[in-house]
Structure 1
Amino acid sequence: MLRHRPSLIVLAAGRGSRFAGGVHKLAQPLGTSTVLATTLVHAIASALPVLVVTTEALAPIARQHVAARDIVVLPEVGSEPGLGMGRSIATGVAARADAPGWLILPADMPLVQPATMVAVAQALEQHPVAYAQFEGRRGHPVGFAAELFSELVRLDGDEGARRLVARYPSLGVDVDDPGTQVDLDTVDDLSLLRAAAGGLSEPLVVERG
């Protein structure tokens, strides 16, 4: 049982520029849902408090699963200086400044299981940094204890939190969850993701001119 429940911050504000499918990768079909919605369903099932950092284009999907108060909308990456993963993390942490810690989960990792999120959250009760680890390979989510608040909220641009993981004592939490290694960057990744999820028939959604 968790004594303290860190906030689970789902990062869904990236541009996804490597994905050439036309429609944003997070809005692509996955099974009977979408990539973003599947990630959110798993996040909610963890019973951790969920906050989604996203853009206006993807906010309608997020609003189908979480309350408006649990969504922070950022401008599209590239529309103003400083936007990127670092800014998304900082914004999410600042929005839940009173949390006893934060788990960071990229929204393009819909196969991460709820039990994995809980395991990383439990590790934060004893460690400043913890991350999911499958067969010796570091994956997501990555968790940070409340003592790192001041550093997390200073992140900006595309600077993620890797340097914090390297700087502070961190624990790799061994989990039986290959989804911790599976993200979505390209159209080929989407095919592999659908195969892993058991959804082989969804069409690629492209923009119509």
Structure 2
Amino acid sequence: MDDPTGDTTSPARPARPARPAGSRPAAPVVAGLLLAAGGGRRLGGRPKALLPYRGRPLAEHAVRTLRDGGCGPVHVVLGAAAARVRQEAELPGCVVTENPDWASGMGSSLRSGLASLAGSGADAVVVLLVDQPGIGAAAVARVAAAHRSRSSLAAAAYGGRRGHPVLLGADRWAGVSASASGDRGARAYLREHEQEITLVECGDVAEAYDIDTPADLRHLE
């Protein structure tokens, strides 16, 4: 997906050592952020992070998608049944944050996740939702490759329609956190900055369906 404050000040970042003359600039650090706090209300209260997919919890698949797409470090926000998810899902090397306000909607989980990235040294983050297994590493890699600066803003597109995953440059995190509320996530911020978003077509490598209802579970078979 902590105690989100919505603080609009930019997060402090560690200074990078000076490069020797003539050396290449350091490669940008694009982290991954998995929002996996949902309780699956329309799925009978089955936490989405633990839905079985290819024999393992959905959260494991999503973490692997971010890593295979070139993102690191990977941060994970849990909420519903967080203790069970920690016990049943293997999330080695991930920075795991628990959002006690997960039931208030995706906005609080996004704030928790961005807060956990403060001080990480990441230049940008690719945000992925746990309930979209049709989005694979190829789509993540394409969106991550759209990073140009700490103010970058990019999103996957499907037939020209904006969707997930989304890339947020580090200089955007404070603004996104301040506007994230309810179940909107970064929607309000992205709408306000629509003209600044780089759309990355991913319809040929991914499917952007959600797992929200019992009928959607067919996608996990």
- Which residues in structure 2 correspond to 1:103-182 (within 5 Å)? 103-125=126-148, 128-154=152-178, 155-168=180-193, 169-175=196-202, 176-179=204-207, 181-182=208-209
Q: How many residues align?
A: 185
TM-score normalized with structure 1 length: 0.79
1:85 to 106, 110, 121: 106
SS at match of 1:153: helix
CA distance in 2, matches of 1:72, 1:141: 20
Tell me, yes or no, if the aligned pair for 1:130 and 1:144 is still in contact at 8 Å: yes
SS at match of 2:41: coil
In structure 2, the residue matched to 1:205 is none
Identity %: 28
Tell me, yes or no, if the aligned pair for 2:105 and 2:181 is still in contact at 8 Å: yes
1:11 aligns with 2:35: yes
Residue 117 of structure 2 aligns to which amino acid in structure 1? R
CA distance in 1, matches of 2:56, 2:100: 25
Q: C-alpha deviations, 1:153-176, integer Å up to 9, x for none?
A: 323443311121122210110122
In structure 2, the residue matched to 1:58 is 85
SS at match of 1:150: helix
SS at match of 2:28: coil
CA distance in 2, matches of 1:47, 1:128: 17
Q: Could you say if the C-alpha distance between residues 136 and 153 of structure 1 is closer, same or farther in structure 2, counting changes exceeding 3 Å?
A: closer
CA shift, 1:48, in A, is 0.9
In structure 2, the residue matched to 1:202 is none
TM-score normalized with structure 2 length: 0.75
- Structure 1 residue runs of 5 or longer lacking an equivalent are 200-209
CA distance in 2, matches of 1:12, 1:133: 22
- Structure 2 residue runs of 5 or longer lacking an equivalent are 1-25
Q: Could you say if the C-alpha distance between residues 9 and 188 of structure 1 is closer, same or farther in structure 2, counting changes exceeding 3 Å?
A: same
CA RMSD of aligned residues (A): 2.1
CA shift, 1:122, in A, is 1.6
CA shift, 1:26, in A, is 2.9
Residue 162 of structure 1 aligns to which amino acid in structure 2? R
Tell me, yes or no, if the aligned pair for 1:41 and 1:65 is still in contact at 8 Å: no
